[in-house]
Structure 1
């Protein structure tokens, strides 16, 4: 499966953004269709991060991303009551937007030549709902796209990083080594 990649947007003068990348940040109307309604500093993400004892920037970012994955999957009701209520209040404040469906995400982000790139403001080193969108487009379940805990990395970003590393290692092999070990690190 060919996945798209996530690129970070920049406000620096002269910054160039890919024309083919789909913006997945917040916004109004069609521009914000793919945005995460849960902010890292919002009450639901803060309560969720506190539940996992991860009240730092990466933990809050993970919590907001995990809430997005659960929202797309329609599983917000499985959260503890206080977190579910906070998430519901955040959504009500935004006018109760409907989550994008898995089919809608796959249709929009799978191009003819593989996955489409996504563009957002999140740093490349933290969890982002753009990773969830790329994972869903690639066939992952929304809940599996982001790990179960911020303390132990797992999920789509980790598996993708392993895949990229394996391909780079394979590219370093000589043709003779590739013939000897054809199944090594595919």
Structure 2
């Protein structure tokens, strides 16, 4: 990407104003075990980051095209009149691109855990629209069902991109499976703000 994280509006990774996750690092490690995470996955997820780094814009074009083709998904970026909010879409896109790299390259430490909680809050009515100062949004929340459902498109569509740098089918499979586990892990964390106390 042509920007650095510091120049991305609303990107608060590691900053003091990022929400602090209620989960402990021990609970995160237990969740990693639940998605079958292995040291090999760590290796191949980093490799996936190297493969995807210069393809970010093409990936975002595909994902944004998918959302734009489905009005029931695009509506979470529209104003009260049902028109897409271009500035909102553009700001989220920049963070979405950085998220791909963060998924592959960031250590899963306290800052990482906190930012997953922050992402969840930004989809939930707690903080949706606030980061980009959107005051005319038609929707106050992204329903939890779409967070979970999006595991499929943002995983399935990545395989072709992972296969474009000449790696063997076995290596592509390993990168793909590591990506799938990493996305599932994050979505599980993003769900937290939606669940009532005692049930998460």
Tell me the TM-score range normalised by the shorter chain.
Answer: under 0.3
TM-score (norm 1): 0.27
More helix by share: 2
TM-score (norm 2): 0.26
More strand by share: 1
Structure of greater Rg: 1
